[in-house]
Structure 1
Amino acid sequence: MISPVKGRRISVLLPDLRPGGAERLHVNLARDWVERGLDVDFVLRNAVGELLDELPIGVRVVDLAVPRVRGLLRPLTRYLRREKPNGLLAAMWPLTVIAPVAGRMSGFRGRVVISEHSPLSVAYASKGLLHRVLLRSSQWFAYGLADACVAVSCGVADDLAALSGRPRQRFEVIGNPVALGGAINACPAPAALAGVARPLFLTVGSLKAVKRHDRLIDAFALVASRVGGTLCILGEGAERASLEAQVKSLGLKGRVLLPGYSANVGAWYAGADQFVLSSDYEGFGNVLVEAMEYGLPIVSTDCVSGPREVLHGGAFGRLVPVNDPSALADAMVDMLRTPINKPALLARAREFSVDVVSARYLDVLMPGWWGKETA
């Protein structure tokens, strides 16, 4: 049994707790850390977001109330000087370059660990030369100040090394803590799915351009003409109006569901027949692990970074080219006829279980302070 870690505090620095893969994984980590006896602070640039309600009891929220990210350095420095946590975990650029600087300015003696969740050269490719120079120079400087640099996939680590100019071995790869275990099969399907045409194709993710739900809708239009069914896009975001207009123009109203954000995402997985991911890029692909944990057949774009690693080169799901709705539709139909090895999917999902990943983060946040076996 792993001995509890008493009297130690970890601080997690995030922009906010709006629903997102990076935000949710830190909530999962916090839950495990609290169970191990750690104190946990969520230090937020702004304390807003639906995931605030999902924080475990005992987690403290520190609202820095900073309107613009450029104003974050001074309040974060004051927090570190005042609270003196044992470790600071900062996620998502530019917080990942501000945190190591704040650590040095405050005289912080704990460890500063930065964690990147996207291939930043792709995520910011449209920002122009000046932004790229700022990105590269800030990474090179701040990553050198951090005690450890974590990437959520090998693809992200390769991208960060190339972009920052830091050696590839500087980046430790730790996958995301997605698999939760528990009574996942006990989730009743949401009422919104009662009576919908089968098969039910599900995707989960914010309604933003990079997820390319528009391509998925185009692909589903082809699928619906061949096998019928329903597409459910679970999430909320800025692309809602354009996606609704697309659904209407294709005559798919009632066949494509946009129910918004759900705190009980497991029920939707339990009610689905297949999971589909259509992104332009992913840092990791949390939703793929979630789908595997529910034993769902998976079709995903073979986009930059995570999916190929998570699906082990296609061993645990079908990979298709990016920006090809026809290929996506063919794979969706084909996967309906392909036998699924659910035990293999579940075993793969467990490789990304919260307790396994939590332990790896504790290794870099507090080496030598935890993990001793007790009798």
Structure 2
Amino acid sequence: MSIVNIMWAGGSPYVSVHKVHQQILSQAEPGAKVFNWLLQGQGSCCSCESTREWQLSHRLVKGRHVWGLLRPWLRGRFRQALEHVNAQVVLLDGLGVLRLLLPILREMPAVRVAAVFHGKTRLRRSDIALLRDFPALRLTIVAVSQTLAQAIEQDLGMPVQVLRTALEPEAFRSELLDRSAARQALGLSNDVTVMGAVGRLVDSKGFEYLLDAFAQASLQQPQLHLAILGEGVQRSLLEARIKTLRLEQKVSLVGHCNGLARLYRAFDWVLVPSYSEGLGLVLQEAVIADVPVLCSDISVFREQLGSAGWYASAGDIDAWAQAIAECATLNAAEVARTQFKALEPEQAWQRSSLIAKTLLRQP
């Protein structure tokens, strides 16, 4: 059995995407050969037998303008590589990878394909035609949440398999540092109430308005501290906003942390102010770490926490300020227990594992 996992890119911005694929690949049959290919960038978050970094330029992968003339040559290289490893199952990371490789895979009748969607995307007419023309018995379209699957199904007019990605609870919890050690690793005092936020520093994550909401909340609850873990293009903007709000002593922009998943117990609460998410693994990681979550009131989060969630409208500074201040007064351990029960991590892991096995079965 030979499985090829083809990813858009490596590096810290794609950690959550790699985690999803790693969880799928963990359900491969014993003895299966797993090959991890990165179209761009370096490194991998997947424990694969072999990693190949293609080092392709963004323009070449996109195939725009004159670069489109090289598409046949590039696809020929990929076909040769797939035949060389005797690929039987190919796992594709989202729309960009799918556009490049589905035309090749359509002509390889011995190969089964699983195309995994991780977030909202705009399907072109050509994308819809590409997916509909692919032999249905050899293609499974996968979305990482029910919310995302419904959106893609509506646009595509084809069935989409829901694989609500889940973490293996016991394995995840076994790696966690305790509160004191996690705070020491992040340089945080034990004498403050720490609100944590985790993710790429990009507009869709909502960290800019979170700073304004936190500034208001900390006037009511002066013991609050906000720690944002992650890196991205908005760092300079967020640093400037912190200075404008005079929050230098109350907000830590920690940056990218190796072993981030071990650090959740440094936080009293985790804040997830995203405008949109395909799933939001941060929510799952926090709840499994016994840390309660306050998140945006979007359907993908309600899908996971239901009535046990604490929500505020995405982008609403006043609502978030009020919610942060209120959460700081609650019994965090009790909220965490309620959210853990709602998330059902063990049952979710078992369900996702069974579905993943079907994606990797031999044609």
| Deviation of 1:11 (Å) | 1.2
In the alignment, what sits opposite 2:167? 178
Distance 1:140 1:334, change over 3 A: farther
Q: State the shift of 1:357 in Å.
A: 2.1
Give how far 1:65 is off. 2.5
Q: Does 1:100 align with 2:102?
A: yes
TM-score by length of 1: 0.82
Shift of 1:354: 5.2
Q: Is the 8 A contact 2:302 2:309 kept in 1?
A: no
Are the equivalent residues in 1 in contact too, given 2:27–2:356 (CA < 8 A)? no
With the length of structure 2 as denominator, give the TM-score of the two structures: 0.85
Aligned length: 337
Which one is further off, 280-289 or 155-164?
155-164
Query: Who is 2:357 aligned against?
Result: 362
Task: Give the secondary-structure state (helix, strand or coil) at the position aligned to 2:295.
Answer: strand
**Residue 199 (structure 2) pairs with residue 198 (structure 1):** no
2:303 corresponds in structure 1 to 309
- Superposed CA offset, 1:214-244 (max 9, x none): 0111111011111121111100111101010
Specify the code of the residue in structure 2 equivalent to 1:298.
V
> Shift of residue 362 of structure 1?
1.9
Which consecutive residues of structure 2, in runs of 5 or more, have no partner in the other structure? 64-70
The separation in 2 between residues aligned to 1:264 and 1:349, in whole angstroms, is 24
Aligned position for 2:50? 60
RMSD: 2.4
- State the one-letter code of the partner of 1:11: V
In the alignment, the residues of structure 2 paired with residue 319 and residue 36 of structure 1 have an alpha-carbon distance, to the nearest angstrom, of 42
d(CA) in 2 for partners of 1:28, 1:361: 8
Distance 1:210 1:143, change over 3 A: farther
Partner of 1:232: 227
Aligned residue type for 2:94:
M
Distance 2:292 2:160 in 1: 32
**Secondary structure at the counterpart of residue 9 of structure 2:** coil
Letter in 2 for 1:157: A
2:67 maps to none
Compared CA separation, residues 341 and 219, structure 1 to 2 (3 A): closer
Query: What's the counterpart of residue 66 of structure 2?
Result: none
Closer/same/farther in 2, CA of residues 249 and 74 from structure 1, 3 Å limit: farther
Structure 1 outlier segments of 4+, above 6 Å: none
> Matched residue of 1:262: which SS?
coil
Contact map agreement 1:184 1:294 (CA 8 A) in 2: no
In structure 1, C-alpha distance between the alignment counterparts of 2:347 and 2:322, rounded to whole Å? 29
- Structure 1 position 344, deviation (Å): 4.2
Structure 1: stretches of 5+ with no match in the other structure: 1-7, 122-131, 369-375
Pick from 208, 220, 233: which aligns with 2:202? 208
Q: Classify 1:151/1:352 alpha carbon distance in 2 versus 1 (closer, same or farther; 3 Å).
A: farther
> How far, CA to CA, are the matches of 2:213 and 2:300 in structure 1?
22
Contact 1:89 1:113 in 2 (8 A): yes
Bigger mean CA offset, 94-103 vs 178-187: 178-187
SS at match of 2:95: coil
2:328 to 330, 333, 336: 336
Corresponding residue of 1:245? 240
Q: How does 1:1-375 map to 2 (within 5 A)?
A: 8-19=1-12, 20=14, 21-30=16-25, 32-33=26-27, 36-49=30-43, 52=44, 54-56=45-47, 59-67=49-57, 68-69=60-61, 70=63, 71=71, 73-105=75-107, 107-121=108-122, 135-145=124-134, 147-164=139-156, 166-167=157-158, 170-182=159-171, 183-187=174-178, 188-189=181-182, 190-195=184-189, 198-228=192-222, 229-303=224-298, 305-312=299-306, 315-339=307-331, 340-347=334-341, 348=343, 350-351=345-346, 356-366=351-361
Residue 164 of structure 2 contacts residue 279 of structure 2 at CA under 8 Å; is this kept in 1?
Answer: yes
- The aligned amino acid for 1:261 is H
Amino acid at match of 1:77: R
